[in-house]
Chain A
Amino acid sequence: MTITENILCSKSHEYLLKNDDETYTIGLTDYAVEQLGDIVFLELPEVGVSFSKGDTFATVESVKAASEIYMPVSGKILEVNTVLADTPELLNEDVYEKGWLVKIKATGDGSEQDDLLEYEDYKEELE
């Protein structure tokens, strides 16, 4: 079973992965990173901050441009992938194991995930 079978994707290209401990991991989809090209900088939130679904919680800079990253669901930041501060290029290698962005505790209800797509459907939508 690959990781993409467990994720949900937003139309703004974030993924949401449910972990065994009921927390969620958020990152950028591989498609988003491929489109951005070389990632050179990430501005990530502080642990403990809460965001609503759709809020900008981070910014990614590629060589080409700065892009905002939005919360796919409402949540409170539990953990930030601080390794990315010095090695943002990890995102270009892998967006799941090494290049995840934050872990959150979801604070909204389950219906917030209704507009998120399964990976295969997300891929299809792009074509």
Chain B
Amino acid sequence: MNNYFVRRILQIIPVLLIISFIVFSLVFVAGDPVALMLPDDASQEDVELLRESLGLNEPFLVQYGTYVANFVQGDFGESYRYGQDAMSVVLERLPATLELAIAALLIALVISIPLGIWSATKQNSGIDLIATGAAVLGKAMPNFWLGIMLILLFSVSLSMFPVSGRGTLAHLVLPSITLGTGIAAEMTRLIRSSMIETLNQDYVRTAKSKGLKNRIVVYKHAFRNSLIPVITITALQTSTLVGGTLITETVFSWPGMGQLLIQAVNTRDMAIVQASVFVIALLVILMNLIADLLYRLLDPRIKYN
């Protein structure tokens, strides 16, 4: 098992290198940062001058080589926009994004676990139909639309929550609901189907035939065993969560990594884009590793070779 984890951790290195190459190429292809930095009426000469002073006139491979050489030494370069070390700008934003993501995930779990179990045990009943319908609706609502609607209802009309920004617990409510709703919807459906599958297993039938109470059968025998796919899904939601923060943070002007990344892409701030994607990739990989570790704890039959 130790070997397995060492191997998994070593695999992170090529993955990060490949990601860095893809991101570097995409940003390179997407356009020239100098065009966005100078005034609208800058001439070709002004553009060339600035490009040269920023080292952006070098060919792609030379630029990438310089980038990788610095990157392996832990230097992500300086942000054009902030004139500061890119990684420290990104790490400054990480707590805000983690706060939002964790709150959203909690909301998603609080909604999806009871709802998923409930509709699985009442399969094809009216309640199940409503829960499944709500899940489809929750998944179908785009984040930005839901965010704006929540602001209009709870902030503008009812004055219950602040419109935007970060600070108190109240500031966290609307953005985390916005971000959590889609995930809750997805997880409800998965928990439901996972539960239905487990409830049809032989051991559940055996438990029922022994005359055990339905509650014990559902929670002790079926639910624990349906948790494994739920954990996979939760880990996989990390990327959905991060993707969601890009939009949610912009709608609620939440000063996290998502908003930073959007601004960095808009201004072609390569160093920030790279540093953010690096942190996000690392988070997603780590979450997957943790999920693997949890499998083993929950199901000792799983062996790692």
Instruction: Indicate, yes or no, whether A interacts with B.
Output: no
Measured CB to CB, the residues of B under 8 A from A are none
Measured CB to CB, the residues of A under 8 A from B are none
